[in-house]
Amino acid sequence: MGVDMLYVEFDPKPFSEKFYNELFNELKSVRKKLELGLHFGVWAGGLPSEKMIESISNIFPREMSIIELSPESMNEKIRKMNGRGYYSNDELIATLKKILKSKLSACMFYTVGLPFESRKEVWETIESARKMLDYGVMHSVFVIPIEPGSPMWLFPQRYKVKLFRKTFLIFSCILFPFQKGSILSIR
């Protein structure tokens, strides 16, 4: 037993990469004594720089390390409208190629049901996710449960979403189907 993976969640913009570069350099000397992989999640706002990718691949064991990117949508307009980064798909693909070239694993996170997203844009994202498999990129596609009381639930027209769960009871039964008191748990 012990620690074999360091999990870091990182939003590169507006934060600086300086802190992480200093942290990784500090870990470089210690890392030789332990096999410590890195699970590096890059969420909102941007992409990791080439320097950061190189730093990760030089310090951490490549076979034990992964960089996660979370564009949420492969439609640039939808991604920007939802605050998930102001980078193009070309920049995203170029970053993925740098990650894979450095022999690190890559994973992409997508979300279906984003505000302002149409069926066409959902299918664009799903098709892009399928294509990423050809490059050896892992991916996860999530569906947003619109929570009662959230802005999208209160004002669906504003966000161009369609509500399927219009009461808290229906919402809670779907998320927690067998919890005591749920309709589905009653015999």
| Matching residue, tokens 């892009």 | 128
Whole-number pLDDT of residue 11: 65
pLDDT at 52 over 60: yes
Take residue 161 and report the two structure tokens written for it. Answer: 């979403």
Whole-number pLDDT of residue 32: 64
Specify whether the CB–CB gap between 1 and 32 falls below 8 A.
Answer: no
Q: What pTM does this model have?
A: 0.78
- What is the mean pLDDT of the segment spanning 66-71? 92
pLDDT at 151 over 70: yes
Residue 88, class by beta-carbon neighbours within 10 Å (0-12 exposed, 13-18 middle, 19+ buried)?
exposed
pLDDT at 65 over 50: yes
Between 16 and 112, name the one with better pLDDT: 112
CA–CA distance, 131 with 128 (Å, rounded to integer): 5
Name the pLDDT band for 186 (thresholds 50, 70, 90).
Answer: very low
Tens of pLDDT along 15-41?
A: 567 777 788 888 777 766 567 888 888
Nearest to 109 by CA among 140, 144, 65: 140
Nearest to 114 by CA among 85, 75, 149: 75
Whole-number pLDDT of residue 98: 96
Take residue 107 and report the two structure tokens written for it. Answer: 């994973």
Beta bridge partners of 6: 38
pLDDT at 156 over 80: yes
